[in-house]
Structures are given as structure tokens and as C-alpha cells.
Amino acid sequence: MKQTGNTILVTGGGSGIGQALAQRWHDAGNHVIVTGRRRQALDQAIAGRARMHAYVLDVTAPDAVASFARQVTQEHPRINVLVNNAGIYSAEKIGAHRDLSDAEGMIDTNILGPIRMMNAFIDHLATQAEAAIINVSSGLAFVPYPAAPTYSATKAALHAYTAAIRPLLEGKVEVIEIVPPQVQTELSPGQSNDPNSMPLDAFADEVMALLHAAQTPTEVCVEGVRYFREAEANGQFDEALRMLAKYS
């Protein structure tokens, strides 16, 4: 992926990881478009930044995604990078019968949302030079967090989907996965102040350095997530799972 001169669309770009990456891409000389469900957060993310635009979008609404894709490709026909970052998290207690609305919401947002976006934009991206799809998964795709089984499963599904489409799009659209560790954002309550979470700025800086190296990796794994990404290959999966279970 080239470092500058792109037109980049980032879902969930009004806060957290999405906002941090979007602003760094903008600083590097890219035209950046952010989407999200909260207009106020989006306006704050783009404030004072020329060549940065915001649209309200809920990726769980199929008709809205299709309509948005038509609108934004007309208004910004040079879009060549789609970043599927929008996601939601909810802890779960599965020891008794429960309301599944949170679990269903995570499936709809975290895996069906990116699939809808990729489907809506693939024909356009295939016509663009140096096109790329970037999906943001999680270290929990590789070692699930017992307190958040559905969230972990959605990220594992997104990892599998990303790996599956990569050879199918080879030579047409570059397919990249960003694998975050736990980062200081508001994804879950208190996470932004958690000393065990990676500072957001440090994460975004490391991602940019890896993503825009001479050879873009298919998986962008900061050092803080490598233990989980490589746990199964290194025979440490059970150890890592037990460690996460202590926090459940």
C-alpha cells in the first residue's frame, strides 16, 4: 500500500483506532473519508482538516450501505482504499439463558458489516490503481477472551474471511489485516485508562510504520499482539487462554 496520494474510506472513524489511523493517513497527504453513527464525533474527528470528510453510516443497515456506496463513489470517485474498522464489544455471561440482542448486534456489526461494505465497494475498487481493503480484526481472533466469546468469534470470522478473499483478489485489490492488541480506547468501559492496554498513539504510530514499510505485510501485527497471534503455532494457546480466563 502506498503511503500518500490515496483516497481512503474508514468506517468507525469518529473515535478510537479508526480516528487515530484516519488522522495519521490524512497527515501523510491522503484524502480521507470517515463514517460512523455519531455525527458529533465525526465532526470532531475532521475539525480543521481539509481533504477530510465525514458521513453518518450504520453498517448494520444493508440499504443504507448500498445507498452510501453509490453516493460516496460519485462524490469521491478516486476512493481506492476501504478500511473496515467499525466494531462493537460486549462482555457476556453465558452460564444461564439470556437475551441475545448484544450477541446478534456484534455479529451484525463486526462481521456482516465489513462483508456488506466489501460487497458494496468491490466493483469500484477493482477499477482503481493501487486499491486495497484493510480489515481490522483483533488478537482475540487467535486466542478468544472467555468473557467475550461472541466478540472473539466475530474477529476470528473476520480474520478467516480476510485470508480467504486475499488470493481471490490478488492482482486486483490488495488485502491487508490489522491485528490490534487491547488498546486504550472506549471499546469497553474503562479500557481507555487501563494501564495494561497499549496507548492509542503508540499503537497507531507502530501500525503506520509497519503498514507503509517497503513491503506491506498481509497482517499488520504490532509487537504487543504477537504473543496471541503466534500462541497456537508456539504451543502456548492453552497457556494464553488460561491467562485470559482469569480476567473473565
Sort 78 into a burial class: Cβ within 10 Å, 0-12 / 13-18 / 19+. Answer: exposed
Alpha-carbon 177 to chain mean position? 8
Helix (H, G, I), strand (E, B) or coil at 92: coil
Residue where the block lists cell 465497494: 121
Instruction: Evaluate if pTM is beyond 0.75.
Output: yes
pLDDT of residue 58: 97
> Are the C-beta atoms of 184 and 191 separated by less than 8 Å?
yes
Q: Which three cell numbers mark 25?
A: 493517513
CA distance 88 to 105: 8
Domains and CATH numbers, the chain: 7-245 (3.40.50.720)
Instruction: Convert the pLDDT of each residue in 136-175 to its tens digit.
Output: 999 999 999 999 999 999 999 999 999 999 999 999 999 9
Using 50, 70 and 90 to split pLDDT, how confident is the model at 188? Answer: confident
CA distance 13 to 232: 32
Where would I find the beta strands (DSSP E) of the chain? 7-11, 31-36, 52-56, 81-84, 132-136, 174-179, 219-221
Read off the pLDDT of each residue in 9-27 and give the average, rounded to a whole number. Answer: 97
Catalytic annotation, residues:
151
pLDDT of residue 214: 84
